[in-house]
Amino acid sequence: MSKEKEREPLFSAKNLKLLKDPLGENNPITVQVLGICSALAVTAKLKPAVVMAISVVVVLSVSNVIVSIFRKSVPPRIRIIFQLVVIAMMVILVDQVLKAFAFEVSKQLSVFVGLIITNCIIMGRLEAFALANKPWESFLDGLGNAAGYGLILIIVGFFREFLGSGTIFGYHMMEKIGIYNIGYENNGFMILPPMALITVGIIIWVQRSRNKDLIDKS
């Protein structure tokens, strides 16, 4: 890395791009198709989806910063194991906090908090970005990617809970609208995992028809 002549402002256009890109045109789920498994598993209800999103934001942004700080002192041969230790530490911390302060949700999420360790997005960002960039940029990159992941989780969770259980955050929305009186029934299929896949697919479809650049050339 060459030394910079001027100090870059904290929120320069380049840095903002790091934060914004993963939310839309470089979204980890809909464009890179990473981290799908947990997106399918925790989105049957909105609340676990939100908690999962927050957990991933914390884990990814903090581990990105830690890895970035040590990027010059860690020998390349052991970098993977080093990254894993950092991620595992963060995941255990998050898991313990959830167990202490949000036990119910923690039980719903069960193994999926622990499985954040294997979430491809996190390893991917550490390898691809944090190892080659300074801590502040890495922090923004981690925040952006995790937020992009969380955004899709929350959208999918919203539709699955609303159409599948008729509630939003456990609040009986459909009942309040009074739609059951005219014969409406909750769609049991929305709660099953296949519908998460199809919902993500529809989001990808909508995104690509709005942004033609994302369509594969073939």
Partner 1 sequence: MKALRKQIDKIKPHFEKGGKFAIFRSLFDAIEVLIFVPDRVTSRGSHIRDGIDMKRVMITVWIALIPAVLFGIYNIGLQYYQSINVDAGFWQMVWFGFLKFLPLLLVSYIVGLGIEIIFAQIRGHEVNEGYFVTGLLIPLIVPVDVPLWQLALAVVFAVIIGKEVFGGTGMNILNPALVARAFLFFSYPKWMSGDLVWIANLVKGEGVPDTFSGATPLAQAALYEVDSMPSVMQMFIGTIPGSVGETSTIAILLGAAILIYTGVGSWKIIVSVFAGGLGMGLLLNAFAVNPYMEIPAYQHFVMGGFAFGAVFMATDPVSGSQTETGKWIYGLLIGILAILIRVLNPAFPEGMMLAILFMNVFAPLIDYYIVQANIRRRLKRAKSN
The residues of the shown chain that bind partner 1, judged by CB under 8 A, are 183-185, 187-190, 192, 198, 201, 205
CA distance linking residue 215 with residue 218, whole number of Å: 9
DSSP code of residue 186 = -
* Between 75 and 183, CB nearer to partner 1: 183
Of the chain, the end-to-end C-alpha distance in Å amounts to 37
Q: Are 51 and 23 in contact (CB under 8 A)?
A: no
Please count the CA atoms within 13 angstroms of the CA of 135 that sit on its side-chain side.
8
* Between 84 and 155, CB nearer to partner 1: 155
CA distances from 41 to 37, 49, 165, 197 (A): 6, 9, 16, 10
Closest distance of CB 89 from partner 1, Å: 41
* Between 169 and 189, CB nearer to partner 1: 189
Q: 130: which 2 tokens? A: 């944090």
Closest distance of CB 182 from partner 1, Å: 9
Give the rounded distance of the alpha carbon of 79 from its chain centre: 23
* Between 103 and 184, CB nearer to partner 1: 184
Closest distance of CB 211 from partner 1, Å: 17
| CB atoms inside a 10 Å sphere around CB 106 | 20
Q: 208: which 2 tokens? A: 């690509």
Closest distance of CB 98 from partner 1, Å: 31
* Between 54 and 155, CB nearer to partner 1: 155
Q: 76: which 2 tokens? A: 């390349």
Closest distance of CB 189 from partner 1, Å: 4
Q: 89: which 2 tokens? A: 């530490």
Closest distance of CB 188 from partner 1, Å: 5
* Between 145 and 167, CB nearer to partner 1: 167
Q: 45: which 2 tokens? A: 């209800």
